[in-house]
Structure 1
Amino acid sequence: MSAGSSLPYRLRPNKAVDRELFLSLLMRLASMLSLETYHYVGLGGPFLEDFRLVHGRLGIAKMTCVETEEQVHKRQIFNRPLSSIECVHQSLEDYLDETDFDCPVIVWFDFTEPRAITSQIERFARTIGTVQIGSILRITLNANPESLGKPDHKDISVEAGGDVSGDRSHKPTTQEWRLARFKERLGSFFPSGLTAAGMTQKNYGASLLLSLKLAVEKEVLNFQDRRIVWALATHYADGQAMVTASLVVCANDDKTIEAQIKAWEFHTTTDAPHRVDLPALSTLERLTMESSCNAQAKMGFELPKSNMGESPFDVFKKFYRIYPHFSRVEL
């Protein structure tokens, strides 16, 4: 677990919205799949906030929190909000290999380490065939293209204002250099037709999701009794860029779950993830944007854009109902 994963949600509003989207998906499927009988497995961080919310919203009692770092594991035992949460000092991969689930599961692969991206994608895809039909799988991946490495400035062409240096025919641009590293790292999961444009801060997350989709589709071909339905995909950044994807493992002849998911207002797939890029707002700005159909004209100023380039007014309009509100409470 990275240090960033221990940051409180008030410092990560986009991640908070991403989490609410996933909980909304689970709530939509709860009655159809009887999710209260499922086994929830994830990486809860030192405060197990996700576990508290999953139990509170869905009533799931059988839950396992997996953690490799000993001190974080000890904090989890101390902080766990429910005695029914099993805290395991082990890697998620080892836990899944050693456990035979006797019921459908919800597994959240919350990865933050970018260097192991290929094995993370492989593990997620492989799990599709080892869980019971009806299970829900979710993955979070680090989507920072700088994790591919930094080339020596002498080995690349210098780019400025759309122009490149005169040695262009001999040296790659930074994005072209990263594309070569990405292809080396992903191997058979490298999407055909991917160009250097997919290695920018804005597009790298989408490139990762294409690789994830390719790995999952290859894995599903090995099974005749099941198929997958993509339910939710997001791309967000609270300092560190991340992508997520969620799917349901369905029986091959079952169309009801897919229909329920596709009718959900926030349904999206790995081909077109939600860009969760919410602006930091004062209380007055938030109330104005919630109550006005043309908030930008009423406020009379622009809000800053992030590296994702999304309109903050459009993004807020899309997710205003789950925009996080944080306040101090004295105990």
Structure 2
Amino acid sequence: MSGTSIPYHLRPNKAVERGLFIQSLRKINKCLNISDYRYIGFGGPFMEDFKALHNELRISDMVCIEIDENVRLRQQFNKPLSCIDFLEGACSATDFINEYEFDKESIVWFDFVSFKDMNHQLSDISRLVSNLCHGDIFKITLNANSANLGTIDDETKLMEYRLEKFKELVTSDFEPHGLTEESMYSKVFPCTLLKALDRAVAKGMASVENVEVVPICAFVYEDGQKMLTATGIVLDSSKKDEFFAKTHIDMWPYYSGDWEEPKNITLPALSARERLQIEQMLPDGSYKEIRDSLGFYIGSGERSAKEQMENFISYYRSFPWFGKVAL
């Protein structure tokens, strides 16, 4: 099942990642007034990100981009706020970059889901950042499921095959240096993709003077498809020290100032009873203590169960509760 086929409100790992994005914006708000920003993004049918950023950060200037006309009509039906503007007609990220005047401090979130268009997406990212100014924030989501590169019968040559496919998919402008077959392993591929994104950003900033992109965070999560997200801010080089002094974002546990390796958000599926017992032991409980208290591990194997439970210990404050509601 693809990530996009799961209703947004039933994607817990994405919900955690979105909560961490909002946390990062709150920290940036100590230096820059986020409520005065314009938010630009892909709304999806339910416009969840728009609602969250308005409710949590009081952003009241919002622009929705959508290329699918039927989804656009659905968005307008589900429009949750009067402050959301819909661009006329179908509009892709490329169309938006070509036509939009970046005349106000902005937060731009390009949430790409297609894998086959990756090179075009990297090109859009490069052109986007070249248009941004001091204080502008961008977030990129890319499909990081290496299985999309295809498969062959001979398992011993699968990584070699996927490496060739990746080189066909991504041009030399964005191809990370030092690619190997190991770069295509499922666990390593998000790091590979993050390096390609970093190259796209560097290419976009190459002709821009006096400003630079400062990486803020990067995450990988999975709600069907494995997805990579990276957030950065454009800063005047002379104001970079002031930014860190005011925000202390480099002290944030989820800060990633080099985009070398995304932090993993893959959380266990818990019953309400399991979650309540585990949370009673947090924030101080260890995996071993939780495992011993439950009497079992949660998952298909203990190694992955340990990794997911340790993630839960890190992210439980952002983990959503789901339940049945009668309207």
**Fold agreement, TM-score > 0.5:** yes
Q: 2:292 aligns with which of 288, 292, 297?
A: 297
- Does residue 1:232 correspond to 2:227, yes or no? no
Q: 1:250 aligns with which of 211, 226, 235?
A: 235
TM-superposed deviation, 1:215? 2.1
TM-superposed deviation, 1:33? 0.9
Distance, in Å, in 1 between the alignment partners of 2:244 and 2:194 is 20
Query: Which residue identity lines up with residue 275 of structure 1 in the other structure?
Result: N
TM-superposed deviation, 1:75? 1.0
Distance, in Å, in 2 between the alignment partners of 1:219 and 1:42 is 20
Q: 2:159 aligns with which of 153, 175, 186?
A: 175
For normalisation by structure 1, the TM-score amounts to 0.89
For normalisation by structure 2, the TM-score amounts to 0.90
Higher mean C-alpha displacement, 43-52 vs 189-198 = 189-198
RMSD: 1.9
Q: 1:305 to 1:207 in 2, by over 3 A?
A: farther
Q: 1:267 aligns with which of 247, 250, 255?
A: 255
Deviation digits for residues 166-225 of structure 1, max 9, x if unmatched? xxxxxxx10111112212222222222222112122221111001111222233232221
Q: How does 1:1-331 map to 2 (within 5 A)?
A: 4-5=3-4, 7-88=6-87, 89=89, 90-151=91-152, 153=153, 156=154, 158-159=155-156, 173-188=157-172, 189-254=174-239, 255-259=241-245, 260=247, 261-268=249-256, 269-292=258-281, 293=285, 294-304=289-299, 309=304, 311-331=307-327
TM-superposed deviation, 1:149? 2.7
Q: Is the Cα–Cα contact under 8 Å of residues 36 and 60 in structure 1 kept in the other structure?
A: yes
Distance, in Å, in 2 between the alignment partners of 1:187 and 1:208 is 13
> Equivalent residue of 1:233, what SS?
strand
Q: Is the Cα–Cα contact under 8 Å of residues 206 and 273 in structure 1 kept in the other structure?
A: yes
Q: Is the Cα–Cα contact under 8 Å of residues 140 and 243 in structure 1 kept in the other structure?
A: yes
Moved over 3 A (4+): none
Q: Percent identity?
A: 38
Distance, in Å, in 1 between the alignment partners of 2:291 and 2:126 is 43
Higher mean C-alpha displacement, 206-215 vs 258-267 = 258-267
TM-superposed deviation, 1:146? 2.1
Q: Structure 1 stretches of 5 or more lacking a match?
A: 160-172
Q: Structure 2 stretches of 5 or more lacking a match?
A: none
- How many residues get paired? 312
Q: Is the Cα–Cα contact under 8 Å of residues 209 and 271 in structure 1 kept in the other structure?
A: yes
Query: Which residue identity lines up with residue 252 of structure 2 in the other structure?
Result: W
Higher mean C-alpha displacement, 255-264 vs 226-235 = 255-264
